[in-house]
């Protein structure tokens, strides 16, 4: 849930989700459509489908227990290097550094004084990690990056201000973080395929949708071919399926 979503927004969904599915096996036993419905409002609905698939894999391959091994974690649907390391650090307190966009910003400005690619930021964080303190280190880096070393930094309040290479250099332009290869402008959401997908999934949460209603459900009443393309992708990815009714209806799986 925390992938690309802020903590304050996640917390109530997290509590609701754990109440419904307290164990991986509970999530696995639910239909993927039920999980997607409970996810409503969080966006990036593919995460819900991956979470259901990961719970199914954990139940089938790991006895219902989340593995404490990075390779096993990364084999789960939807789990990449960042999520695997976050689980290892915060659930198991393993000595691994966790790097997200906020941490890249702190490392670029404060430690390196220059832009960092994600791989270089990860290597630097690994070297800085104090043995036996991964939980504290990673939480601290996240907090500094999310609350102080933001896009518009609050340097006067930052506990790292006396060590920060960028601040000691007079905060000269360009901002080291903005020179990082990992910093890319985000594509507009308005009018995107992702917006149309989200609208269609939201409509499906309320009930099945006929083929004639697909375009309007996506918000593209004059572009049925685009809606059909989105629908084909949703079915292929396992979000939805066509019923055997005549005429067929699209529904969540």
Is the separation of the CB atoms in 200 and 193 below 8 Å?
no
pTM here? 0.82
Task: Check residue 186 and give its pLDDT.
Answer: 67
pLDDT one digit per residue (tens) for the chain, 253 residues: 988 888 899 999 999 999 999 999 999 999 999 999 999 999 889 999 999 999 999 999 999 999 999 999 999 999 999 999 999 999 999 999 999 999 999 999 999 999 999 999 999 999 999 999 999 999 999 999 999 999 999 999 999 999 999 999 999 889 999 888 766 666 788 889 999 999 999 999 999 999 999 999 999 999 999 999 999 999 999 889 999 888 889 999 8
pLDDT of residue 190: 87
Peptide bond into 11 cis (omega under 30): no
């Amino acid at each position: 849930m925390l992938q690309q979503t802020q903590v304050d927004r996640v917390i109530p969904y997290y509590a609701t989700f754990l109440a419904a599915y307290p164990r991986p096996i509970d999530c696995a036993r639910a239909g993927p459509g039920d999980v997607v419905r409970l996810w409503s409002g969080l966006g990036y609905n593919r995460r819900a489908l991956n979470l259901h698939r990961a719970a199914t894999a954990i139940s089938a391959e790991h006895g219902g227990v989340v593995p404490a091994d990075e390779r096993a974690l990364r084999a789960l649907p939807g789990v990449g290097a960042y999520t695997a390391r976050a689980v290892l650090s915060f659930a198991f307190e393993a000595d691994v550094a966790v790097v997200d966009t906020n941490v890249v910003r702190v490392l670029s400005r404060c430690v390196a004084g220059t832009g960092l690619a994600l791989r270089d930021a990860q290597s630097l964080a690994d070297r800085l990690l104090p043995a036996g303190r991964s939980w504290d280190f990673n939480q601290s880096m996240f907090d500094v990056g999310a609350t102080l070393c933001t896009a518009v930094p609050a340097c006067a309040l930052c506990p790292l201000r006396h060590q920060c290479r960028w601040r000691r250099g007079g905060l000269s332009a360009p901002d080291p973080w903005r020179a990082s290869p990992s910093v890319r402008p985000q594509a507009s959401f308005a009018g995107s395929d992702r917006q149309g997908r989200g609208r269609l999934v939201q409509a499906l949460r309320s009930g099945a949708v006929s083929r004639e209603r697909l375009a309007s459900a996506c918000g593209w009443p004059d572009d049925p071919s685009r809606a059909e393309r989105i629908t084909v992708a949703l079915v292929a990815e396992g979000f939805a399926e066509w019923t055997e009714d005549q005429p067929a209806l699209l529904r969540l799986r």
